Structure formats: structure tokens, C-alpha cells
Structure 1
Amino acid sequence: MLSSFFPADRLESYRTSPYKDRIDRIGQRLVEQRYHPEVTEQHLREWLRVTDYLREQGLRLPLTLTAPEVEQYVADRVVGLSASRTRFVRAAVRIFLDADEHGYCPRRIGRAPQPVPSWFGSALGEYTESLYSHRGLAARTVDKRVWQLTRFAAYLDQDGVMQLDAIAPRHIHEFLIRLRTQAVATRLTYVTTLRSFFRWAAMTGSLPQDLSAAVAAPRQFKQRGLRDALTKREVTRLLNGVDRASPIGRRDYAVLLLATRYGLRPCDLRQLRLDAIDWREHVLSLTQAKTGRILTLPLLPDVADALIAYLRNGRPATQSQYVFVRHKAPFEPFVATNNLATIMRQALQRVGLDQREGRRGLYLLRHTLACRMLASGSPLKRIGDVLGHASTDATMEYASVDLTALRRVAITEAEVRP
């Protein structure tokens, strides 16, 4: 089936391999996903090496990349290889071991799952289920809480705690002290996670008492800094600096323009679907990932032109219904952990703004739009509607950056003197 990918001296090993059907299924999946032929060939040859090793050692599937025998194989295989080649070998082995009966292997993005201590696993699973069934939290929020609780459990495990009812306030306090080097906003998310878990544990009887009161939150002052924003000239430079002659450039330009004109969050840009665009009515309608509310916006002419240019002459052929996809096989939507920061970072680098202080992600364009609307006299309600805020409290934060308006209402020295 895939014989053309193998050299003559390896054909017999391929044809007689007990895992030939598996190699064929996974290899055909790569072909269907339009991997470059050379990449497909390298994967196939690496899988054949793995199957030879399995046969020699008398090993059978299923196995995982963390199995001792597999780790030993990888360690021996990558001796003398470069860092990039080592990553490829590990990825190829993982794909072969983790693929299902249809040849599909989910992409692993970011950090590997952290092992959960056995004594904590049952409670964590039940708590996770309650977040989905009773709280209705988004999958990404649940994943974040699971990650944070796993880190807490790992700390407890190291401290000798082996059961839930052995957790004491001092353990919580010492764990939070370890987080002091992180940003206040990050530490507050840990506080929210721990308090939620302890309330749930007390309510379900997993803990004899509610320890949520022992989770002390760091002090955070509102309006402690001004919202970061680009000037009108800098925004123009940013957009003009994109190379729209290339497919990736057309995609990146459309992403940046959507963020500039509408202030869309990265998660909403990432999840923008083809059916969200009503070309006849010139309307863009999407369900916001953060609030779950529908946001309806006019399809501006320059935005429509950018989307058409990308969809017609830039977007790879794919069955995905998302507007923006990867331009490297597999041609799939961006994963949930991708905030499209690379697109913004490269755009800033091209025009020499990458060393500026403050934000460098797509939220910078969201803040810039809000500040410009406020400076032009737009009511806070209108700004909130465009940005998709669920409450005007969030929009009020931008009032602190309208320095011109603040100067008009400032109290003079004469007014405060006795």
C-alpha cells in the first residue's frame, strides 16, 4: 500500500511486519492530511524501526511513550541526533503508539499531563464532573482548574499528605507562599480554584470541614495602571507591514484586521466559523467563548475584502468549518491553547515595535480600539456592545485612559484651597 515510501532493502521488513496494517492505516491518514511526502516517508521508516524493536523484544501493543521499554528504545535511538531530530523521533513513536484503530492520533500541544497522586484522583474526577454538570464551565476553564489542583496535590504528596482529610490550613498557606513569584492575577486564579474545590469537598462530605476560608487571596488594587494602547499611526504601520502576497500573510492580515476593527478576543478569532459570516446581509455573528453571548457586528468593507482574499487565495483546502486554520499539515483549526500570539508578535517585529513596554498580544488591539472609541466620544454602552462585555463594569476600566476627558473634570487648585 505504501511500498513506494520504503527503500528496496527495507521492503521485505515492511511487508512481513506483524504491524503492517497499523503502519498502513496511520500512514494513509498522514497522506489524507496532506503531509509532505518526505515527512510521511520519515514517519513510516521510523515506525518500521519501532516495530522491529517490538518484535525483537517480544513486546505487544498497547504501549505508551512513558513505558520503560519505550523510553529505553527512544533513549538509544536518539544518541547523537540533533535536538530537532530527537523531537521528531519522539513524535513519530508517540503517533504510532497512540493512534486509534482508524489511524488517527490526537495532536499533543503544550505541556504533558501531570500525574495525579492516586489518593487524590477519585475526588478530582468527581469534582471535575460537577464543574461540567452543575456549573456548566467551559472545557478550557475546567482543564485549568484540574491542572492547578494537580499541582496542589503534588505539593501535598511531597509533604507526606496521603488522604484528603489530612489537609490542614498550613498546607494551603505554604502552597500559596510558593506562588508568590507569579503575577497577582495568576495567584488569584489559584485562590478561586482552591476555594471552589474545598467548598465542593465539604458539601459532598469528602472533607469533614470547609477549608475555603483558609485560602487567603493576595491584595489586588483596581485601576492600578493605565490600559495599554497603540497610536493610530502605529496601528497603520502594523497592518501595512503584513505581506499579503503570501497565503499566511493573507491569513495573518485578516486576523489582525478583525482584532483592530472589532476588538475580538483571540479565543473568538480562533473559533470564528464560516457560517458566522452573512455575506448577503453584511453581518458578522458569533457566540463569544468567554461570555456565551451572541455578538452581532456589521461586516465592514475592508474586513470583508480581507476575508475574501484569504478564503479564495490563501486558505488551505480543508474540511474544517473554522475560518482560520494552520498552514502546515495537518490543516486543522488552531488548538484551544493557541492565543494567536505568534501572529501579533511577528507583526510587531516587522515594524520595530516588538521591544515596546506593555502588552504584545492581540489584546493590545482590543484595548486600542476601546481607547480610540472613548477618545472619539462614544458612550461606554456602545463600546461595551462592540467589545461584547457582559457588564458595563468591564467597560468602565477604560475611562481611566481618556486623559483629555479627565482633565476637563479635574478639580483646580483654587477649588480645593480654603
Structure 2
Amino acid sequence: MDIKKLKKTHPELLEYMKANGFGSVTIGGVKVMFRRLFDHEGEYTSYNDFYKKFISKEGIEGSTKRLGYYRTSVRTIQGFDEFDHFPNRLKFAPVQYRECSYDHLNPIFKGIVDHYKQVALKECKSEKSIRVESNAASTFLYHMQRNGANDPFGVTESMILSFFYDGCKQLRGCSYKTKIKTVLKATIKTDYYAECTRIIEDMPCLKNGRKNFTTLVNDEIRIIKENLQEGARNDLSLRDKAVVSMALYTALRGTDIAQMQINNIDLERDLIILTQSKTQQPIVLPLRAVVGNPLINYLLNERPRNLDIKSIFTNVHDPENPMDSSTIGGIIRRFFEKIGIRGDDKENGIRLFRRYLASKVLENGVQPKIISDILGHQSPESLNPYIYTDIKHLRECGLSIEKYPVGKEVFQV
């Protein structure tokens, strides 16, 4: 941050907001934050530090809604000062002002989390996965610290149980436990590995609460394909048709579709070649006509030309920026609504396409390893939920009960 520079340039931000139709309340909130920044100059070291010292404490007495306005105003100023970003009513997320358990950890516990981060980076784990698992472990270790443990040797079974149960109900589930275990297992070859292993063994057995995956049925797939045919609908943009076609026929993750660049498309060999955002693993998929034709149609007839960005899919309201990955889900949901499927509060996100592909090829006898490669899974266990829904092959594992007498009333509805 550069407050001296900001004192000179801040009128530029206010003038921009006024010229671009921002309301008086929004502009007023930014003005208030400018005044506080200037009044307390020298009393903070960063925008995060400023927010914690002079804004967040007001949330105790003030409303949560008002605190949200303050947070947005500070983020707007930081974007302008540090990132040359002018507000455009789209989410700006280089900073999030939230209390973090990691910041309160002592050096020993903080070192365990830091060690995991280094190991995970070497294993090319995605940034998001590292962040989520580190946050879960930090929360766990901070709970141990608050209960009197200053290192893994001081962690008792009762402390561990109190993290997962409050005496009446379960507080955290199996997935949370798995994230913590991942971080603790990374202590191998360190002085704390034996104790971290003991902590893992003392964790309670938690039932995996994941339900069977919802997937698309054949009739829904038929309706989707009919509506994607050229000339079938005029109420869908070329971008949305290209996105839905790619999701249906490639089963790529939404983040990979949103971040796909023009150089990821090899038209000479009809291939899609990219590095997955979640696993950082390369993947090569065939570029079939049902995917390539809608994509070319969008690039030639709808996507603005002469853009500096290399992303294929751009933001409709701000073409100079790539489409956000969260937009993909909205495109899919709107598409389902227009063609009249997946209503009545049924699940309707992009994951349905990945699940349909996995379930269908499993049903047709394709080996799990091949399916994992197609879906870009890093761990073979990621395919288990799809296997659980493979009714065709699960029936083959069923045992007849003909030899066992069962009363008729058992089968009465």
C-alpha cells in the first residue's frame, strides 16, 4: 500500500465511480474509508491490518450489513491502490478479511502447517486444496492449543473428541477429519510424526455422510442434445451453447472450461490439451465436432475480436476479463431451466455431466483406471462415489434370499 500516492490519486477513483453510475451510498462508503485511512496513517501496516484495527471491531456494536459495506469499500480502495483495479460490480477477490486460526497458532503448530504446504507444493497439489486442508488443520490445532496443548505431545484424546463432538451432537464430519489427517501425515521424517500418527489414531470413527451422487438420466441427455442442435433455439447465446456442449461431451470441470485459452485448442490434430486447475495434471481430450463446431461459431460470430486476453470465454459485461468459473454453474442452471429439466429443487450444476459420463462408461464395463484418466482424477478413490451408483454391476453382487424364509409382511408397503 502507498498512502502518500493514494492521497494524490484517490479523486480519480471517486470520479470514475461517479461517471460509471455508482450510487451515492457506495461512493460515500469509499469516501469514509479514505478519511479513516488518512486519519490513521502510520498506525497500520497493510489494508488487512487497517481493517482489523479500525473497522472489524465495529461489528460488535454495529450491524453485520454495515460491516459488509465497510469491507467492500476497503477492498475497492485496495484494488485501486495495489492492483490498478477500477470497480466494475463484479467480484474482486485478492483479499478476504476473515479471522484465521493459523494466525493464532504457536510456532510449533504453525510449523506443522507450513511443512505440509511445502510438501503439498512439491507434489503439485492445487492451491485451493492446499488452502482448504491447511485451514482445517489450523482450526484443529488452534482448538488443541486453546485447550492447553503447546505441541503434539500435549494433545489428549479428550481434546480431540471435543473438536468433533460437543457432548450432544457431532460438530464436524468425515471430510473435515480427512483434511486434518492429510496435514498431519505430511510430518513424516520430522520429530513430530510419531505423535501426529498417534493423534490420527485417536480421532473418532466418523461415518461418511456423502449420499449417492445425483446424475442425469438418458431422457434428460436426449433433451439436452436436441436443444443444442444448430437452429434448435434462438434464446441461447453462442457462448452458452459452446459451454454446455463442452461440459456435456468432455466432462471437464467448470474451472477448466472457464480458464481455457485459445492455445489449449489444437485444431490441426483436433485435440484439447490443458493442465487441470484442480490437480495441476495434464490432460488431452479429443475435440469432437459436437464440441468444436459450437466453439468455432462462438469465436467467429460472438466473441469480441482484438481482445488482449487469451481466454476463450470472456465476461459478457466486461469482455476484457475472462469469464469467472462461478459463471459456468449459472450458465448450466439457466440452460436447464429453459429446456424444462432438473426443476423442483433438483441438483442442476455442471457436475451432473461428469457424473453422467462416469456412470455411463462404468455401466459399459470400462476399467476404472481409464475413467479416472478421462475425468482427470489424481486419486483412484475419487471414482468410488460413481461406483456406488453403478446399479447394473452392483446387482451382480447381490445374493439370492430364496433359501431363507422371510415372512410376507416384510415386503408389505
> Which TM-score applies when normalising by structure 2?
0.70
CA positional deviation for 1:386 = 3.4
Out of 227, 230, 234, the residue aligned to residue 216 of structure 2 is: 230
User: Counterpart amino acid of 1:192?
Assistant: K
Is 36-45 or 142-151 further displaced after alignment? 36-45
CA RMSD after TM alignment: 4.8
- Contact 2:262 2:311 survives alignment (8 Å): yes
* Match status 1:93 vs 2:74: yes
Match of 2:51 in 1: 66
For residues 216 and 142 of structure 1, what CA distance do their matches in structure 2 show? 24
CA deviations 1:278-299 (Å, max 9, x no partner) are: 1232211222344544322221
- Secondary structure of the 2:135 match is helix
For residues 70 and 283 of structure 2, what CA distance do their matches in structure 1 show? 44
CA positional deviation for 1:304 = 1.4
CA deviations 1:118-142 (Å, max 9, x no partner) are: 4257425632443345544321121
User: Counterpart amino acid of 2:298?
Assistant: Y
Match of 2:106 in 1: 119
Q: Structure 1 residues 18, 281: CA separation in 2 closer, same or farther (over 3 Å shift)?
A: closer
For residues 163 and 412 of structure 1, what CA distance do their matches in structure 2 show? 54
Match of 1:180 in 2: 170
- Contact 1:374 1:399 survives alignment (8 Å): yes
User: Counterpart amino acid of 1:285?
Assistant: I
User: Counterpart amino acid of 1:69?
Assistant: F
- Secondary structure of the 1:50 match is helix
- Contact 1:27 1:40 survives alignment (8 Å): no
- Contact 1:285 1:297 survives alignment (8 Å): yes
- Contact 1:23 1:44 survives alignment (8 Å): no
Match of 1:355 in 2: 344
- Secondary structure of the 2:10 match is helix
Q: How many residues align?
A: 384
Out of 24, 37, 52, the residue aligned to residue 20 of structure 2 is: 37
- Secondary structure of the 1:371 match is helix
CA positional deviation for 1:367 = 1.4
Out of 13, 16, 23, the residue aligned to residue 10 of structure 2 is: 23
Alignment of 1:129-208 (within 5 A): 129-132=117-120, 134-161=122-149, 165-177=153-165, 180-184=170-174, 186-193=175-182, 195-196=184-185, 199-200=187-188, 203-205=189-191
For residues 345 and 305 of structure 1, what CA distance do their matches in structure 2 show? 22
- Secondary structure of the 2:51 match is coil
Q: Structure 1 residues 63, 42: CA separation in 2 closer, same or farther (over 3 Å shift)?
A: farther
Out of 310, 314, 318, the residue aligned to residue 321 of structure 1 is: 310
> Which TM-score applies when normalising by structure 1?
0.69
CA positional deviation for 1:38 = 1.8
CA deviations 1:230-288 (Å, max 9, x no partner) are: 123213445667897578x4333322222211222234323322211112322112223
For residues 359 and 264 of structure 2, what CA distance do their matches in structure 1 show? 27
Out of 242, 265, 269, the residue aligned to residue 257 of structure 2 is: 269
- Secondary structure of the 2:342 match is coil
For residues 129 and 54 of structure 1, what CA distance do their matches in structure 2 show? 34
Higher RCO (C-alpha under 8 Å, 6+ residues apart): 1
For residues 370 and 54 of structure 2, what CA distance do their matches in structure 1 show? 61
Is 254-263 or 172-181 further displaced after alignment? 172-181
For residues 239 and 358 of structure 2, what CA distance do their matches in structure 1 show? 24
- Secondary structure of the 1:66 match is helix
- Contact 2:136 2:180 survives alignment (8 Å): no
Match of 1:12 in 2: none
Q: Structure 1 residues 40, 235: CA separation in 2 closer, same or farther (over 3 Å shift)?
A: farther
Q: Sequence identity, in percent?
A: 18
For residues 391 and 71 of structure 1, what CA distance do their matches in structure 2 show? 41
For residues 238 and 362 of structure 1, what CA distance do their matches in structure 2 show? 13
For residues 220 and 71 of structure 1, what CA distance do their matches in structure 2 show? 37
CA deviations 1:26-84 (Å, max 9, x no partner) are: 679x79xxx982249986665444334555677777553524434589999x99xx95x
For residues 356 and 51 of structure 1, what CA distance do their matches in structure 2 show? 44
Q: Structure 1 residues 151, 314: CA separation in 2 closer, same or farther (over 3 Å shift)?
A: farther
